[in-house]
Structure 1
Amino acid sequence: MDSLRLRRALTLLSGGDWWTLADLVRQTATSRRSIESLLRELPVERSGDRFRLPPDLASRYNGAFGSDISDLSDPVAGLAGAHAETLDRLAELIAKAPRGRHALDHVAATADTVLRRALLLGARFWLPGARLLCVGDHDLTSLAVRMVHPDVEVTVVDIDERILGYIDAQGLGVRTRWADLRLGLAPSARGQADLAITDPPYTPDGIGLFVARAAEGLRDRDHGRILLAYGASERTPMLALKVQNTLSDLNLLNEAIFPDFNRYDGAEAIGSAADLYILRPTTKTWPAVAARVDRLATAIYTQGPQSVEAASPEGAPVAEDAVTEFAPALLAGDWPRGLLPKVPRTRLSTLLAKPYAAAPERVAVAVPAGLEAALPRLLLATRAGHVRVLLADRPDDLPALAEAVRPVYDVTSRATGAGIVIDAVRLPPPDGAVARIVRRILDSAHGKVANTWREALTETAGLTKKEARAAIEEAAPWAGDLSALELPLHRLGGLAAAVSRTLPEAR
């Protein structure tokens, strides 16, 4: 009953052309293992890494398919032809985009897939004045939507600084926000979207987390929708069932599934394809979302230090001596229960969500493997004079992470038997108008950048509120409604230059 996929592969192999294994997987949306099994059973000819059936045997296997029910897997097939230039531009953008990171389960969708996602949104929903939230966007769906539907406001939330910088560099008006979804959705992205789209890690916990965050991003709780890309091998229906049970636990109505709608360069284990789900929240979704994000796991990926397989129930080792000698007034993160039992504790997510009630002079922060990208935001969020951070391993981009907080902290690091210890000591107030304004913005990291910036301009440069607001909108249109904790690193690094452009002498 399910042999149609393999019969498509037989037809391709019988047509006289040579096919690579990857191309057979992609064209038939069939897992690599199934195609390999098929090739072992056939008398194929080989030419390097390519295959075909001998011409004298082709007629034995070649069978007609009849009409394809293309609208089932590709409901916008008739629309793509009018967007050839956009497709070429998307292919170029995807080719030049930062390479995917295995630890984040990145696999690039094809340009055709990204275009068809944008076309489906326009065919299925009323988009004038709509807001779209991309919960992760390594595929660059945000750019496709802005190119096809320029009147849609698009916001991207992602952990990958390179992707955020690349999207901003295209100048298409996409709003970018940094967030590690395990620690929370970017505050400015909460309750602001009519539609959300996500192509998350394909684990039940990864799907549950990303979809829950997408739901948190909806402002239209009655009519909003979440579009989800998810695929599993035809050999593993139980994996798909676990994911669908996760969606059911969130009380989401499954309005539609378009099979094999999404195609990828890679992901051959799932046939280089994934279905597209259209999900509609119900009144019972929101309490279910709150319950899930309150108990979420940090191990959500299929590879790397935060993969499901790598997760350790005992947690990472802790250099206890480095903590006890530091004598912190607050412990942030997951620490051994018996360590400094009288010292107050808080979650990393809570630290990022709102300022701690007190202003402790010394804070110790435990950052598990895989969450190192949050380091500069955690330092800014503490508001402490001295922060000691314990990492399981030294991140490759530690210099860039330290540079992001250089206006506030002097950062040093050292290795211990249990990982890396980072000390961040708050610097005295700087001299100069630009440095003082930047420092004020970063010292109020939970507050909105534009508000703090405007107040600083009125006090430091003598501008009226209206003049300050206009200067900021001209120099930094991206600063509108987000906090410093949401700024991508390239925005943090460019903050001083942007501030200088708002001072009277620069205008």
Structure 2
Amino acid sequence: MASEGVSRLLAEAGVDARRLRAALALLCDGEWWTLAALVRETATSRRAVEALLREAGPQRSGERFRLTGEQAQAYRALLDEGGEVPGSPADPVAHLLPRYGDVVRRMAELVAGGPRGRHVLDHVAATPETVVRRALLLGARFWLPGSRLLCVGDHDLTSLAVAMIHPGVQVTVVDVDDRILAYIGERAEALGLDVVTRWADLRLGLPPSARGQADLAITDPPYTPEGVGLFVARAVEGLRDPEQGRVLLAYGASERTPMLALKVQRSLYDLNLSFEAVYPDFNRYFGAEAIGSAADLYVLRPTSKTRPAVAARVEGYGTAIYTQGPQSVEARPSPAPSTAGARGVEEGEFDVLVGDWPKDVAPRTPRARLSTWLAKPYASSPARVAIALPPGLGAALPRLLLATRARHVRVLTEDAPHDLGALESLYAITAGGGVVEAARLPPPEGRDERLLRALLDAAHGRAANVWREGLIRAYGHLTKKQARAIVTEVAPWADEVTLLELPAHRLQALPGAVAASLRRAAETSEEAAPEAPYEPGPKVDRRATPRG
């Protein structure tokens, strides 16, 4: 006989009982199921499945559950009441998936080999089938040949799935996690996929090379109203024609928390986005059991009022956008440096204060936002700059130092300095006690070092252009076309990008690439060098020369 507790749970769930019925049907199939698998397969919250297991009383083996034959028979009778078998909503691309089994298997390998998720960035890995289905949906709904896709964050590796299935799409990935950018870059290069990577902390802005370029954008952001609003706003900024483009958004909430979903949807309405489609439970995850290991997929269409709304709101989202860690919404961290750290900053000691500082600290000193500092060179040439870097923004430290041309930089930060790579050629750096001191090194003497320094000194400029001009200065015989060809040969990733948006692994590779470009320039100069001109001997007066 079926448990009265199970019957009560189904009755209390009302029209939403389909989820629980689907979980109960799985338990009746005679197979062993883990709690995580039941949650993911049925898109039901962990709490709801735990309640079902408590009332159903299945057999248990370690972390696995199943119903006995007698229990299964009783619950099948309960499920058959009304003559309807629980099922899932129609999947728009389920009929396409079997043809792409090889891609699913390849994505499973790539996901398994990728960087581990960071909880402070709300990383939860989507299943390989999910990222392939995202790629298939893009192709089923939109005309993709010759189009551009922007992935706003890509811990799930959706970029690689899209590039494999739709090789005619140019894919750009922006992410704050340098590990992810390095992994995607390496795998894309090995597989011959058209994917480029750019570093960005979206709280500080979208990289210049990613602005106004894409036809479509896709994002799976932190599931807070602030996180969803910020990531979608940056996705809109990345669209070439916002009124023709689309933003695909993965977002999920527990069936128990409709008010949270409403807050998120309001953040989308505030951006004047229309909801063209919502595919329920389209995305499945390894984890996120509180929301049923599932998320809906929204297809958002910007309107004529979206771009003004984005411009008005994007700077107001703040730095607290995550659900966990020092930059979580609940933590509400103060962006200003600690009182102890700011106490040593006196009026007149620094020419500019960058970031959010207490109002009573050097009140007459000019100030600049972190986002402004990264976006464009400062109007004057300050000699001393102090930067306040909030907790959780440590990945921006190398880029903030690159963006600063002062002789001395002091950074107040609770994050330990990251590997600064090529910046060791630019600064002498000491760190301790929440303070990083960076003193600019004198101009170098060697040819390799001078070119590298020219690139580091012009971090806001397009790297390929600065590099090209440096090669021409070093080898005057080179034409602009030859110099640019050399840069493209040794560093194809430097095209149309500034140093500030390069992933860390590209910055670390910069000294070696500069040296390689100079060697290639020397070879090109030797090949192009003209032959030695003919030099005649002394002139002879033939008339004075005797014959015979």
Compute the TM-score of the two structures, normalised by the length of structure 1.
0.96
> Which gives a bigger RCO, structure 1 or 2 (Cα 8 Å, sep 6+)?
1
Q: 2:100 aligns with which of 72, 79, 83?
A: 83
Counterpart contact for 1:376–1:404, Cα < 8 Å: no
Query: What residue identity is the alignment partner of 1:169?
Result: E
Residue in structure 2 matched with residue 270 of structure 1 by the alignment? 291
CA contact (8 A) 2:459 2:500 kept: yes
2:249 pairs, out of 224, 228, 246, with 228
Q: Secondary structure at the match of 1:113?
A: helix
Q: Which amino acid aligns with 2:267?
A: T
Q: Which residue matches 2:466?
A: 452
Quick check: 1:411 aligned with 2:432? no
Provide structure 1 residue ranges, at least 5 long, that are not aligned to the other structure: none
Worse-superposed segment, 150-159 or 80-89: 80-89
Q: 392, 402, 405: which is aligned to 1:370?
A: 392
- 2:403 is aligned to 381
Q: Which residue of 364, 373, 384 corresponds with 1:342?
A: 364
Distance 2:86 2:65 in 1: 26
d(CA) in 2 for partners of 1:404, 1:306: 28
Give the secondary-structure state (helix, strand or coil) at the position aligned to 1:358: coil
Residues 355-364 or 167-176, more deviating: 167-176
TM-score calculated relative to the size of structure 2: 0.89
* Aligned positions of 1:50-69 closer than 5 A: 50-62=64-76, 63=79, 65-66=84-85, 68=87
For 2:514 and 2:319, the matched residues in 1 are separated by 36
For 1:19-168, list aligned pairs within 5 A.
Answer: 19-62=33-76, 63=79, 65-66=84-85, 68=87, 70-71=89-90, 74-168=91-185
Matched, 1:483 2:501: no
Residue 461 of structure 1, CA deviation:
2.2
* Residues 500 and 506, structure 1, Cα contact 8 Å, conserved in 2: no
Structure having the higher Rg? 2
> Structure 1 residue 150: deviation in Å?
0.8
**1:403 & 1:66 partners in 2: Cα distance?**
60
CA distance in 1, matches of 2:64, 2:450: 63
Counterpart of 1:441, as a letter, is L
For residue 344 of structure 2, give the secondary structure of its aligned residue in structure 1.
helix
Equivalent residue, structure 2, for 1:301: 322
1:57, CA displacement in angstroms?
Answer: 1.7
Contact 1:226 1:279 (C-alpha < 8 Å) held by counterparts: yes
Task: Report the Cα offset of residue 438 of structure 1.
Answer: 1.3
Shift of 1:368: 0.4
Aligned match of 2:485: 470
What amino acid sits opposite 2:475 in the alignment? A
Q: Is 308-317 or 135-144 further displaced after alignment?
A: 308-317
Q: Could you tell me how far apart the structure 2 residues matched to 1:472 and 1:81 are? A: 43
Asked if structure 2 preserves the Cα contact closer than 8 Å seen for 1:410 and 1:425, the reply is yes
Alpha-carbon RMSD = 1.4
- Alignment partner, residue 359 of structure 1: 381
Q: Indicate which of 174, 193, 207 corresponds to 2:195.
A: 174
Aligned residue for 1:254, secondary structure, equals: strand
Match of 1:327 in 2: 349
Say whether the 8 Å CA contact 1:135–1:196 is kept in structure 2.
yes
**Counterpart of 2:537?**
none
- Is the 8 Å Cα contact of residues 449 and 479 (structure 1) preserved in structure 2? yes
Match of 2:539 in 1: none
- Tell me if structure 1 keeps the 8 A contact 2:149–2:171: yes
**Letter of the aligned partner of 2:74 in structure 1?**
R
CA distance in 2 between counterparts of 1:15 and 1:40 reads 18
> CA–CA distance in 2 between the matches of 1:316 and 1:21?
44
SS in 2 for 1:75: coil
C-alpha separation in 1, matches of 2:28 and 2:88: 22
For residues 314-366 of structure 1, give each alpha carbon's deviation from its aligned partner in whole angstroms, at most 9, with x where no partner exists.
84413123322881110000000011011000000000010000010000000
**Aligned residue type for 1:498:** A
Query: Cα deviations across residues 175-223 of structure 1 (Å, max 9, x unaligned)?
Result: 1000100000011100000000000000000000000000000002221
Out of 222-231 and 427-436, give the one that drifted further.
427-436
CA distance in 1, matches of 2:267, 2:157: 26
Cα separation, 1, equivalents of 2:348 and 2:398? 20
Tell me which residue corresponds to 2:25.
Answer: 11
- Quick one: distance in 2 between partners of 1:59 and 1:315? 63
Aligned to 2:12: none
**Could you say if the C-alpha distance between residues 12 and 486 of structure 1 is closer, same or farther in structure 2, counting changes exceeding 3 Å?**
same
Alpha-carbon distance in structure 1 between the residues aligned to 2:50 and 2:318 = 35
Cα separation, 2, equivalents of 1:337 and 1:105: 32
Contact 1:404 1:489 in 2 (8 A): no
Aligned residue-pair number: 497
Q: In 2 relative to 1, CA 300–288 (structure 1 residues): closer, same or farther, beyond 3 Å?
A: same
Tell me, in whole angstroms, the C-alpha distance in 2 between the residues paired with 1:112 and 1:446.
40
**What's the CA shift string for 1:220-277, capped at 9, x where partnerless?**
2221000000000000000000000000000001000000000000000000000000
**In structure 2, do the counterparts of structure 1 residues 404 and 304 end up closer, same or farther at CA, with 3 Å as the change threshold?**
farther
Equivalents in 2 of 1:374, 1:312: separation in Å?
Answer: 17
Q: Which runs of 5+ in 2 are unaligned?
A: 1-14, 525-548
8 Å Cα contact 1:156-1:177 kept in structure 2 = yes
